[in-house]
Each structure stands twice: as C-alpha cells, then as structure tokens.
C-alpha cells in the first residue's frame, strides 16, 4: 500500500496559526477506519472525503479516495478496475470510528501478557543464566586456588634450595676461617729452607751453636764467629728479603753472636 500527500498541507495549522512541527511518522487515516473483510466491496467515510475498498481473500485488492462521494459512473469505473461487474447504485459511506491500532498491523500481544504467558520459560532461562554465572565463578575460584597452590609449592621448593645454598655457604665461610687460622699458625717457611738461607747469607767462618723459634714468625740463633761484625750481619740478613727486624748482639762469649729476626711470609699467588 502506498499513500502520497502534501507535506505543506499536513504541517499547515490553519489561518493565523504557526506551522506544526514535523512529525517523525505520518500514517493515513484510512488505516484506522474499518476492519479487513473476507470478500466484497465497501465505501468508507473519512473526515475528508471517502474511500472505496475491494476485498479478496481477506486482502485489500483495490482502494481509491474521493473528496466527495463518487457518482455511479466513477464507482463503476473503480469496480471495473478491480475486476468487478458494474453496480446499479453507489453504496452508502460507512461511518467507521477511529481505532487505536491500524487494521493493517498484526495484533501484537503486550509485554506484560507475553511475560505472564512465558513466565515459566523466563524463570528457567534466568535460573540457567544464574547457574552458569555461579558455575563460571566457581571454576574461576578453583583455578585461582590451584594457581595459588602451585605458586606456594614453587616458592617452598625455591626456599628449600636457597636454604641448602645458604647452609653450604655458611659451611664454606666457616671452613675458610678455620683454614685461615691454621695458615696463620704455620711457619712462614720450613726450617730446613731457613737454615739454607742463613748459610747462604752468612759471610766468613761461622758455626751454629743454637737454633730456636719462639713462635712461627720469629727466629733466634746463636753462632760462633770469630771477628764477627754485627752490623754486616744485620745488613746481609735484611738484604736477603727473607727476614726483617733483624738484630745482632754479642753473646755470652767473645766469639758468639746472637741474631734475632722476623721471618717474612711469602704472599700467596694470585688465583689460589
């Protein structure tokens, strides 16, 4: 169905009146007067003019509007265009009242009626959605618990491994301290080595009378040496680089010299 009308006439409010606001939608009056018929024809009165209708099988087969009730010739021309035989007279216009809904629109049920009839289905749908949401929350909670448990287990394993490393480090440090203490009480050099060094740096005839080490770092010896020069002995010993704080004094006998010195510890080699 197609209708055409003048926009200016629709929006015209009459003489000395402001134009009406443009409506969002315009519907023809004919849709709100009368009801569909199974078969036949009719003339429907409108606020302005009248409309002829021809029905076939519950469908509007033809329609035409006249500003005044049509003459018999006009009515028969309309019938002939709809495939009907000429009539003897024009029917009286039927004064149908305006309805709330157009007769061409399907009779839709209201929202409240739909909800009332489908209450059980809607309840099942809402219950299903709520159960699905709760299930998703439970699954997410379980997954979170599993993740936390895995993280705690990983942390515990790492803490145990770290504890072993700390214990091993403490043992290593303790062993290092013990080694350092042991090395501290070790003589700077072997006595055979020191005796060889003394024999090398002593000048002139001499004879060892007494050899002793009060501790690991100090050496004291008494030698018999005619015409001894204590100053030369001190110089020779310190020049060797093996001794420091060297002193040489005459002993109890005229040909004896008592030599005291601190043994120089050799520096450990790099990388050891």
Tokens of 45: 């009165």
Fold of 191-263: 3.30.980
pLDDT of residue 112: 59
Backbone dihedral angles phi then psi of residue 240, each to the nearest 5 degrees: -70, -20
38 contacts 55 by C-beta, under 8 angstroms = yes
pLDDT of residue 85: 93
The pLDDT tens digits along the chain (272 residues) read 777 878 777 777 677 777 778 777 778 888 999 999 999 999 999 998 999 999 999 999 999 999 999 999 999 999 999 999 999 999 999 999 999 899 886 655 555 555 665 778 888 898 999 999 999 999 998 999 898 999 988 898 888 888 889 888 888 888 887 777 766 666 666 778 888 888 888 877 888 888 888 887 888 889 888 888 888 888 888 888 888 898 988 888 888 889 999 888 766 554 44
Q: Where do the structural domains in the chain lie, given as residue ranges?
A: 7-108, 128-185, 191-263
pLDDT of residue 272: 43
pLDDT of residue 247: 92
* Helix 230-239 × helix 191-201 angle, to 10°: 120
pLDDT of residue 106: 61
Point out which residues pair with 54 in neighbouring strands: 41, 62
> What's the predicted TM-score (pTM) here?
0.38
d(CA 35, CA 37): 6
pLDDT of residue 233: 87
User: ∠56-62-64 over CA atoms, to 5°?
Assistant: 145
Tell me the HSE value of 75 on the side-chain side, using a 13 A CA sphere.
Answer: 20
């Amino acid at each position: 169905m197609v209708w055409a009308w003048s926009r200016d006439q629709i929006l015209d409010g009459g003489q000395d009146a402001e134009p009406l606001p443009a409506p969002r939608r315009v519907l023809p009056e004919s849709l709100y007067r009368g009801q569909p018929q199974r078969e036949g024809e009719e003339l429907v009165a409108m606020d302005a003019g009248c409309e002829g209708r021809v029905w076939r099988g519950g469908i509007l087969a033809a329609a035409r509007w006249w500003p005044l009730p049509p003459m018999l010739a006009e009515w028969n021309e309309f019938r002939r265009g709809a495939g009907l035989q000429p009539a003897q007279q024009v029917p009286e216009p039927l004064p149908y009242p305006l309805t709330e809904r157009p007769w061409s629109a399907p009779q839709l049920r209201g929202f409240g009626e739909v909800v009332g009839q489908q209450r059980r289905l809607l309840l099942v749908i809402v219950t299903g959605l709520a159960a699905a949401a709760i299930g998703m929350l439970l699954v997410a909670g379980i997954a979170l618990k599993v993740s936390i448990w895995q993280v705690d287990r990983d942390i515990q394993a790492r803490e145990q491994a770290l504890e072993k490393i700390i214990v091993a480090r403490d043992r290593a440090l303790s062993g290092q301290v013990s080694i350092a203490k042991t090395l501290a009480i070790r003589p700077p050099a072997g006595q055979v080595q020191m005796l060889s060094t003394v024999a090398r740096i002593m000048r002139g005839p001499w004879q060892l009378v007494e050899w002793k080490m009060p501790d690991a770092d100090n050496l004291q010896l008494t030698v018999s040496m005619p015409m001894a020069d204590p100053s030369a002995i001190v110089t020779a010993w310190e020049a060797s680089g093996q001794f420091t704080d060297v002193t040489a004094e005459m002993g109890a006998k005229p040909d004896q010299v008592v030599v005291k010195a601190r043994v120089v510890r050799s520096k450990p080699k790099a990388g050891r």
